[in-house]
């Protein structure tokens, strides 16, 4: 089942230090987070491209808690999402292993794509790890921004704003700013 075939019960928007984000959920948990795309209309359009005809609703308590944690993380607080209810139906076993490894990275710290591949027993699969993170349906919650290239560079980031957004998120978590040319501290 692809993520598009999931039928969320609803979605909502919330404000963070990186802009207005969207979140979608099913009866099983959070199934999508939409990173800001410049303005709310663009963010809404991005979310509805993934899940057309999903109604905007008041988030249930578990989803409201995930929203609070996202906001706190983007304000520089050390937040853990490991116990959040996620609905990752439609993702592969490999992708879920990658997401689990990313969830274990503490705020403000990073691992490389290759290190994640090694952790999950997929030696030499750094590119596949990158592809899995590029397909991450719940960025911020599954902190794909904490996974970097082996050369000390940011690596890719498929969310709007690309590597610039990734570096901004890491800078917030670290209480500082990214260095020039996308180098990580």
Question: 21, 31, 70, 144: which one is catalytic?
Answer: 144
* All residues at 6 or more sequence positions from 165 whose CB lies less than 8 Å from its CB, including other chains: 18, 35, 145, 157, 159
- By C-alpha distance, which of 57, 20, 14 is closest to 42? 20
**Pairing of β 111-112 and β 29-34:** unpaired
Rounded distance between C-alpha atoms, residue 135 and residue 153, angstroms? 20
Rounded distance between C-alpha atoms, residue 181 and residue 158, angstroms? 18
**Is the separation of the CB atoms in 160 and 35 below 8 Å?**
yes
Whether 31 sits among the annotated catalytic residues: the reply is no
Rounded distance between C-alpha atoms, residue 170 and residue 61, angstroms? 28
**Pairing of β 111-112 and β 147-148:** parallel
Which residue numbers are catalytic?
144
């Amino acid at each position: 089942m692809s993520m598009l075939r999931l039928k969320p019960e609803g979605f909502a928007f919330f404000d963070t230090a990186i802009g207005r984000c969207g979140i979608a959920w099913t009866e099983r948990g959070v199934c999508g987070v939409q990173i800001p795309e410049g303005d709310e209309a663009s963010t809404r359009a991005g979310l509805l491209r993934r899940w057309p005809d999903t109604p905007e609703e008041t988030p249930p308590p578990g989803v409201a808690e995930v929203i609070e944690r996202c906001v706190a993380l983007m304000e520089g607080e050390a937040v853990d999402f490991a116990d959040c209810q996620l609905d990752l139906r439609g993702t592969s076993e490999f992708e879920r292993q990658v997401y689990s490894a990313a969830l274990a990275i503490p705020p403000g710290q990073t691992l490389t794509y290759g290190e994640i591949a090694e952790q999950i027993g997929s030696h030499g699969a750094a590119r596949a790890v990158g592809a899995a993170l590029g397909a991450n349906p719940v960025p911020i919650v599954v902190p794909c921004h904490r996974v970097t290239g082996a050369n000390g560079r940011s690596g890719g980031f498929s969310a709007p704003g690309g590597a610039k957004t990734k570096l901004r998120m890491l800078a917030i978590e670290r209480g500082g700013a990214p260095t020039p040319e996308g180098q990580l501290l």
